[in-house]
Amino acid sequence: MAAVDQDGIRRLAALVARHLLSGKEAPVSGDPSVLAAAVATAIVANFKTEAEIERQARKKLESLGRETDGMDHAKLLQGIRQHLAKERGFVL
Protein backbone atom coordinates (compact mmCIF):
# COMPACT_ATOMS: atom_id res chain seq x y z
CA MET A 1 0.00 0.00 0.00
CA ALA A 2 1.26 3.45 -0.85
CA ALA A 3 1.85 5.96 1.90
CA VAL A 4 -1.35 7.67 2.94
CA ASP A 5 -1.43 11.39 2.21
CA GLN A 6 -2.79 12.91 5.43
CA ASP A 7 -3.57 16.22 3.73
CA GLY A 8 -5.52 14.39 1.04
CA ILE A 9 -7.49 12.51 3.68
CA ARG A 10 -8.32 15.78 5.44
CA ARG A 11 -9.50 17.35 2.16
CA LEU A 12 -11.60 14.30 1.29
CA ALA A 13 -13.10 14.19 4.80
CA ALA A 14 -13.99 17.89 4.64
CA LEU A 15 -15.64 17.39 1.24
CA VAL A 16 -17.65 14.41 2.50
CA ALA A 17 -18.67 16.36 5.63
CA ARG A 18 -19.84 19.33 3.53
CA HIS A 19 -21.84 16.99 1.32
CA LEU A 20 -23.46 15.21 4.27
CA LEU A 21 -24.40 18.53 5.88
CA SER A 22 -25.72 20.23 2.74
CA GLY A 23 -29.22 20.53 1.43
CA LYS A 24 -32.60 21.02 2.96
CA GLU A 25 -32.85 17.37 4.02
CA ALA A 26 -29.22 16.78 4.99
CA PRO A 27 -28.69 13.24 6.34
CA VAL A 28 -26.71 14.55 9.32
CA SER A 29 -26.36 17.77 11.28
CA GLY A 30 -23.70 19.26 13.48
CA ASP A 31 -20.31 20.91 13.41
CA PRO A 32 -18.59 20.38 10.04
CA SER A 33 -15.14 20.14 11.61
CA VAL A 34 -16.27 17.44 14.05
CA LEU A 35 -17.91 15.47 11.25
CA ALA A 36 -14.83 15.88 9.03
CA ALA A 37 -12.61 14.57 11.85
CA ALA A 38 -14.87 11.53 12.27
CA VAL A 39 -14.80 10.85 8.53
CA ALA A 40 -11.00 11.18 8.46
CA THR A 41 -10.72 8.72 11.35
CA ALA A 42 -12.92 6.24 9.47
CA ILE A 43 -10.84 6.60 6.29
CA VAL A 44 -7.58 5.98 8.17
CA ALA A 45 -9.08 2.97 9.94
CA ASN A 46 -10.19 1.60 6.57
CA PHE A 47 -6.67 1.94 5.14
CA LYS A 48 -5.21 0.21 8.20
CA THR A 49 -7.65 -2.68 7.96
CA GLU A 50 -6.97 -3.08 4.26
CA ALA A 51 -3.20 -3.10 4.89
CA GLU A 52 -3.61 -5.73 7.63
CA ILE A 53 -5.69 -7.93 5.31
CA GLU A 54 -2.99 -7.58 2.64
CA ARG A 55 -0.27 -8.53 5.14
CA GLN A 56 -2.21 -11.57 6.35
CA ALA A 57 -3.00 -12.68 2.79
CA ARG A 58 0.66 -12.50 1.75
CA LYS A 59 1.68 -14.42 4.88
CA LYS A 60 -0.93 -17.12 4.16
CA LEU A 61 0.19 -17.43 0.54
CA GLU A 62 3.80 -17.69 1.64
CA SER A 63 2.89 -20.39 4.18
CA LEU A 64 1.40 -22.53 1.41
CA GLY A 65 4.89 -22.82 -0.06
CA ARG A 66 5.39 -25.42 -2.75
CA GLU A 67 1.69 -26.33 -2.76
CA THR A 68 1.17 -23.33 -5.04
CA ASP A 69 3.89 -24.12 -7.58
CA GLY A 70 2.51 -23.69 -11.08
CA MET A 71 -0.50 -21.72 -9.86
CA ASP A 72 -1.26 -18.06 -10.56
CA HIS A 73 -0.02 -16.38 -7.37
CA ALA A 74 -1.80 -13.11 -8.16
CA LYS A 75 -5.17 -14.89 -8.39
CA LEU A 76 -4.44 -16.91 -5.26
CA LEU A 77 -3.50 -13.76 -3.36
CA GLN A 78 -6.67 -12.00 -4.53
CA GLY A 79 -8.79 -14.96 -3.43
CA ILE A 80 -7.14 -15.06 -0.02
CA ARG A 81 -7.64 -11.29 0.37
CA GLN A 82 -11.32 -11.63 -0.54
CA HIS A 83 -11.78 -14.50 1.90
CA LEU A 84 -10.14 -12.59 4.77
CA ALA A 85 -12.16 -9.47 3.99
CA LYS A 86 -15.41 -11.44 3.91
CA GLU A 87 -14.58 -13.02 7.28
CA ARG A 88 -14.19 -9.52 8.73
CA GLY A 89 -17.24 -8.08 6.98
CA PHE A 90 -14.89 -5.71 5.17
CA VAL A 91 -15.45 -4.52 1.60
CA LEU A 92 -12.26 -4.27 -0.46
Full domain range(s) for residue 39: 6-88
Does residue 82 fall inside a structural domain? Answer: yes
Cα–Cα nearest to 46, from 17, 85, 87, 7: 85
Q: What pTM did the predictor assign? A: 0.79
Terminal Cα distance for the chain, rounded: 13
Determine, yes or no, domain membership for 28: yes
Q: What does the pLDDT read at residue 1? A: 44
Does 32 reside within a domain? yes
Total domain count for the chain? 1
| CA 90 – CA 83 distance, rounded (Å) | 10
Is residue 63 domain-resident?
A: yes
Domain membership of residue 26 (yes or no) is yes
| Residue 1 maps to a domain | no
Given this model, what pLDDT does residue 3 score? Answer: 62
At residue 88, does pLDDT exceed 90? Answer: yes
pLDDT per residue over 26-76, tens digit each?
888 899 999 999 999 999 999 999 999 999 999 999 999 899 899 999 999
- Domain assignment present for 18: yes
Residue 78 maps to a domain: yes
